[in-house]
Amino acid sequence: MIHIVKQNEPKELIALRASGAVEYKDLKDNAKKVVKESLLEEQGYLCAYCMRQIDYLGSIEHHHPQSIYDGTNGNEDLRLSYQNFLGVCVGYYNLTPNIHHPDHLKAHCENVRGNKPLKINPQDKDTIAALKYTNNGKIFSEDAEINTDVTETLSLNLEILRQKRLNVWDGVQKGLSIKGKTHQNVRQQFDKYSNRKDGKRFAYCGIVLYFLQKAML
Ligand SMILES: [Zn+2]
């Protein structure tokens, strides 16, 4: 997971609320398409939770569940709040050519989360900074609540996600061992994975940035 900086909300969403719409189901047609495109762009085409690449956004995730934050029981109404919207993946890997893979169609991200509240928030730098990775690609946190969020509620240590994160980090490590692990080379890789290429961020860049940042200390 990486820090997401929200851009201005699309004018189509502002207009929708101004027309009196309050429910998420009122977001449809062109306004929904524009909102999805906006989320993909601001997130660099990565799932807000697992960092896998997403070129098309199936559904919009409410970080604070809309079943709770609907304006009742003293809760804010965040059903049509752009600040509460995240772009997330479909929540499983359809490993069709490899149906014997143990993670074939196993759920992760919002597919397993449902409406459970999360302390981890991609828009909150402090909770993102509380994330750590092990040398074998597992994500965890010393904050017990955040650890439960990433390991159980979002199931981000599913074997296939762990492998994919580790592959990316292994690739960077191999490159550095060939070029030389100088401060300059580490910095160059850090900058590369902090940035975008053609508007897209690098899939699973969070693990790379975590380890490179430690290497630069
Ligand atoms: Zn995901």
pLDDT digits (tens, 9 = 90+) for 165-183: 999 999 999 999 999 999 9
CA–centroid distance, 155 to ligand 1, in Å, is 10
Neighbours of ion ligand 1 (CB under 5 A): 47, 49-50, 89, 109
pLDDT at 151 over 70: yes
Centroid of chain to Cα 66: 19
Q: Is the pLDDT of residue 105 over 80?
A: no
Q: What's residue 107's pLDDT? A: 87
Task: Using the mean position of ligand 1's atoms as its centre, give its distance from the Cα of residue 120 in Å.
Answer: 14
Do 18 and 11 contact (CB within 8 A), yes or no?
A: no
Q: What is the pLDDT of residue 217?
A: 80
For residue 78, how far is its CA from the centre of ligand 1 (angstroms)?
Answer: 21
Each domain of the chain, given as residue ranges in start order, spans 11-216
| 125 Cα: distance to centroid of ligand 1 (angstroms) | 19
Please give the distance, rounded to the nearest whole angstrom, from the Cα atom of residue 184 to the centre of ligand 1.
32
Model confidence at 101, in pLDDT bands (50, 70, 90)?
A: low
Q: Name the token pair of 48.
A: 């807000």
Q: Which two tokens stand for residue 43?
A: 């997130």
Residue type, 197: K
- The confidence score (pLDDT) of residue 58 equals 81
